[in-house]
């Protein structure tokens, strides 16, 4: 049975929750001991400072929202779209540009539930609405809310000029501003539905507050926590922050009697809190060492082994988390794949060199042979023997292909056909009218890449076996593309005996060793193995019977251009 592992994120969240929530609970209980020890006044001052800090944090967030509401005014594409709309009144174009702008600015902004922009020339019908996907609101809910609030928003905007205003409607808080063009003519009204929890949620989390309320004067008053007046023995804290665009006032009710209840029994909790923090710190250190540091070290050591040449090495980690288990499995998979890729490239290089060696088995220097052919060709031309000159040129072309001086393992099909045509010219001169050859290759296939000298050995085999007892032979070369594959077929009329079929099956077997091939040419076995190494087991060479005495050799190549 597979051992279930928890997500590293879940485990880290649980540890952080324990490390912070538990100390906070303990700290809240220690407050009573502080108050009984004569620290009540200092505690009151600390609470007031914390309240002011949280209120200032809310004010900073409101300031950031005000700045966010100004962003469309600075966007050059929006202004250009508006100016163009004033010229040609193409509202569809203006709507597309404006909708894209407001979606980019506010659709993923966690500060706002949604945003609405009403164009000044038709504020009831020409409206752009952007809904924050994380707010949990549907478009029909937003439409209903906006229908109920639109008139009040526009009424507020009418008296704002270029400043901002705030409006509260049944718990919904809007930041409202007018957008003007460069001539201070109204473009429209922007209303952003603010998320009160984002702006003032920290005030509601004050543990010693029984009631919290804030006001954005003069329109907005929000009750964030509780509503009852302070109990006897308590008091109310107030603080006001004045900005250029608004006045923010906060009020907190503190019930000291509730904090003092049972505080006498909490004196021992301070050392207990310190001890628990030390234990949690030690546990956290051990957790991160076992779950993060050690697995990372194992991965680094595995990477170092690969860098030193140990391809295919495997590592093991007992992390107990899905993330590092996934990284370990991926590392092992990539390491194995790297080893297989290296082996495949090595085998491919061996096959290519073997093909070149078998094509040049003569014990003379191939460059000397090629240069000698050039001299003979020149002498034949000087003597007027055009046929001999052309045969020498064709032979030289075949030799150039075998030499592969550029070191290109793959060539365009058009280049491969120059080698095939050179070979066919020579054999036609040999057999004369006894051999006919048809080539049907569409022009769009000529840019496909194929391995060098992949056609000539198969065509040579077809020619040698295509001249039957009658002394006549016919060879056809055709090609087509099927999806990602290039199919090349060479057909001859030489027929296949049962012995030939057994011999072909042996040569084209995936396990056949080309070193056992007695032929001095490249051979169909080498062609098949080269294709399988280059393109995978679904490609290669097959030789089958056709109609009558026809024999079809089919090469399957993964088409690349």
Q: In this predicted structure, what is the pLDDT of residue 130?
A: 92
Q: Is residue 161 part of a domain?
A: yes
Q: In this predicted structure, what is the pLDDT of residue 160?
A: 86
Q: How far apart are CA 545 and CA 485, in angstroms?
A: 22
Co-location of 451 and 553 in the same domain? yes
Each residue of 64-96: pLDDT tens digit? 999 988 888 888 888 888 888 888 888 888 888
By three-state DSSP, how is residue 312 classified?
coil
Mean model confidence pLDDT for the chain: 77
Q: In this predicted structure, what is the pLDDT of residue 30?
A: 62
Co-location of 157 and 280 in the same domain? no
Co-location of 437 and 560 in the same domain? yes
Q: How far apart are CA 162 and CA 150, in angstroms?
A: 19
Co-location of 440 and 561 in the same domain? yes
pTM of the model: 0.42
Number of neighbouring beta carbons within 10 Å of residue 469: 7
Of 291, 311, 344, which residue is a domain's last?
A: 344
Q: Is residue 66 part of a domain?
A: no
Q: How far apart are CA 330 and CA 335, in angstroms?
A: 8
Question: Does 226 have pLDDT greater than 90?
Answer: no
Of 299, 322, 344, which residue is a domain's last?
A: 344
Co-location of 434 and 553 in the same domain? yes
CA 432 → CA 65, 207, 384, 394, distances in Å? Answer: 90, 105, 21, 16
Q: In this predicted structure, what is the pLDDT of residue 330?
A: 80
Containing structural domain, residue 139: 103-199
Provide CB contacts within 8 A for 125, sequence distance 6+.
none
Co-location of 194 and 289 in the same domain? no
Question: Does 57 have pLDDT greater than 50?
Answer: yes
Higher pLDDT pick, 61 / 517 = 61
How many domains is the chain partitioned into structurally? 3
Number of neighbouring beta carbons within 10 Å of residue 288: 13
First to last CA, the chain: 49
Q: Is residue 374 part of a domain?
A: no
Co-location of 334 and 444 in the same domain? no
Question: Does 554 have pLDDT greater than 90?
Answer: yes
Q: Which bin fits 137, alpha (ψ -120 to 50), beta or left (φ > 0)?
A: beta
Q: Are 422 and 391 in contact (CB under 8 A)?
A: no
Mean pLDDT, to the nearest integer, of 444-451? 90
CA atoms within 13 A of residue 66's CA, in its CB half-sphere: 16
Q: Is residue 543 part of a domain?
A: yes
In DSSP notation, 492-538 reads ESS---HHHHHHHHHHT-TT--GGG---SS--HHHHHHHHHHHH-TT
Q: In this predicted structure, what is the pLDDT of residue 174?
A: 92
Domain with residue 471: its CATH number is: 3.30.565.10
Q: How far apart are CA 175 and CA 114, in angstroms?
A: 11
Co-location of 191 and 282 in the same domain? no
Q: What percent of the chain has pLDDT over 70?
A: 73
Question: Does 402 have pLDDT greater than 70?
Answer: no
Q: Are 201 and 122 in contact (CB under 8 A)?
A: no
Q: In this predicted structure, what is the pLDDT of residue 375?
A: 55
Secondary structure of 368-422 in the HEC alphabet? Answer: HHHHHHHHHHHHHHHCCCHHHHHHHHHHHHHHHHHHCCCCCCEEEHHHHHHHHHH
Each residue of 154-164: pLDDT tens digit? 988 888 888 89
Query: For the chain, what's the residue count?
Result: 561
Q: In this predicted structure, what is the pLDDT of residue 364?
A: 38
Of 199, 225, 253, which residue is a domain's last?
A: 199
- The highest-confidence range among 254-263, 294-303, 545-554, by mean pLDDT, is 545-554
Q: Is residue 164 part of a domain?
A: yes
Q: Which bin fits 479, alpha (ψ -120 to 50), beta or left (φ > 0)?
A: beta
Q: Is residue 385 part of a domain?
A: no
Q: Is residue 169 part of a domain?
A: yes
Q: Which two tokens stand for residue 394?
A: 């064709």
Co-location of 446 and 561 in the same domain? yes
Q: Which two tokens stand for residue 463?
A: 């020619």
Q: Which two tokens stand for residue 357?
A: 């060696």
Higher pLDDT pick, 268 / 287 = 287
Q: In this predicted structure, what is the pLDDT of residue 372?
A: 53
Q: Is residue 487 part of a domain?
A: yes
pLDDT band at residue 261 using 50, 70 and 90 as cut-offs: very low
- The highest-confidence range among 174-178, 290-294, 387-391, by mean pLDDT, is 174-178
Domain with residue 144: its CATH number is: 3.30.450
Provide CB contacts within 8 A for 478, sequence distance 6+.
438, 439, 440, 441, 488, 489, 491
Q: What percent of the chain has pLDDT over 90?
A: 10
Q: In this predicted structure, what is the pLDDT of residue 176?
A: 92
CA-based nearest residue to 492, from 535, 542, 539, 435: 435
Q: Which two tokens stand for residue 435?
A: 């051999």
Q: Could you tell me whether strands 435-440 and 247-254 are parallel, antiparallel, or unpaired per DSSP bridges? A: unpaired
Higher pLDDT pick, 429 / 83 = 83
Co-location of 553 and 437 in the same domain? yes
Q: Which two tokens stand for residue 109?
A: 């902004």
- The highest-confidence range among 230-239, 266-275, 358-367, 548-557, by mean pLDDT, is 548-557
- 475 CB-contact burial (10 Å; exposed 0-12 / middle 13-18 / buried 19+): buried
């Amino acid at each position: 049975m597979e051992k279930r592992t928890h997500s590293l994120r879940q485990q880290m969240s649980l540890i952080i929750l324990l490390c912070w929530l538990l100390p906070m609970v303990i700290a809240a209980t220690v407050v009573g001991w502080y108050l009984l020890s004569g620290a009540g006044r200092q505690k009151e001052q600390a609470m007031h400072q914390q309240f002011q800090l949280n209120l200032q944090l809310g004010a900073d967030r409101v300031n950031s929202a005000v700045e966010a509401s100004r962003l469309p005014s600075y966007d050059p594409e929006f202004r250009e779209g508006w100016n163009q709309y004033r010229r040609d009144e193409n509202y569809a174009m203006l709507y597309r540009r404006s909708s894209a702008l407001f979606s980019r600015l506010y659709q993923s902004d966690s500060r706002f539930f949604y945003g609405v922009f009403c164009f000044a020339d038709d504020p009831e019908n020409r409206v752009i609405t952007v809904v924050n996907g994380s707010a949990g609101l549907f478009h029909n809910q937003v439409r209903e809310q906006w229908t109920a609030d639109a008139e009040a928003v526009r009424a507020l905007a009418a008296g704002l000029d270029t400043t901002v205003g705030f409006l509260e409607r049944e718990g919904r808080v809007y930041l409202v501003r007018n957008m003007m063009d460069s001539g201070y003519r109204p473009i429209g009204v922007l209303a952003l539905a603010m998320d009160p929890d984002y702006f003032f949620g920290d005030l509601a989390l004050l543990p010693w507050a029984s009631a919290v309320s804030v006001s954005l004067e003069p329109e907005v008053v929000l009750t964030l926590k509780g509503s009852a007046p302070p109990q006897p023995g308590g008091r109310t804290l107030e603080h006001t922050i004045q900005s250029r665009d608004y006045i923010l006032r906060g009020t907190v009710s503190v019930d000291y009697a509730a904090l003092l209840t049972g505080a006498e029994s909490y004196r021992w909790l301070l050392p207990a809190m310190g001890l628990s923090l030390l234990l949690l710190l030690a546990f956290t250190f051990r957790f991160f060492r076992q779950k993060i540091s050690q697995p990372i070290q194992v991965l680094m050591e595995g990477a170092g082994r690969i860098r030193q040449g140990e391809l295919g090495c495997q590592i093991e980690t007992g992390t107990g988390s899905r993330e590092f288990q996934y990284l370990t499995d991926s590392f092992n998979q990539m390491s194995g794949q790297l080893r297989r890729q290296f082996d495949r490239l090595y085998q491919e290089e061996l096959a290519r060199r073997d093909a070149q060696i078998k094509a040049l088995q003569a014990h003379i220097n191939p460059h000397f042979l090629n240069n000698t052919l050039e001299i003979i060709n020149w002498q034949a031309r000087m003597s007027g023997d055009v046929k001999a000159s052309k045969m020498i040129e064709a032979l030289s072309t075949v030799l150039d292909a075998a030499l592969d001086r550029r070191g290109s393992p793959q060539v365009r099909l058009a280049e491969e056909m120059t080698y095939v045509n050179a070979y066919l010219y020579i054999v036609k001169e040999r057999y004369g009218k006894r051999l006919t050859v048809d080539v049907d290759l569409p022009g769009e296939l000529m840019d496909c890449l194929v391995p060098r000298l992949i056609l000539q050995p198969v065509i040579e085999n077809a020619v040698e076996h295509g001249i039957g007892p009658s002394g006549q032979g016919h060879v056809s070369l055709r090609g087509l593309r099927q999806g990602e594959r290039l199919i090349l077929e060479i057909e001859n009329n030489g027929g296949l005996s049962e012995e030939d079929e057994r011999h072909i099956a042996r040569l084209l077997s995936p396990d056949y060793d080309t070193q056992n091939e007695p032929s001095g040419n490249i051979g169909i076995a080498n062609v098949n193995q080269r294709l399988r190494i280059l393109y995978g087991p679904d490609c290669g060479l097959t030789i089958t019977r056709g109609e009558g005495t026809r024999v079809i050799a089919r090469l399957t190549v993964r088409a690349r251009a």
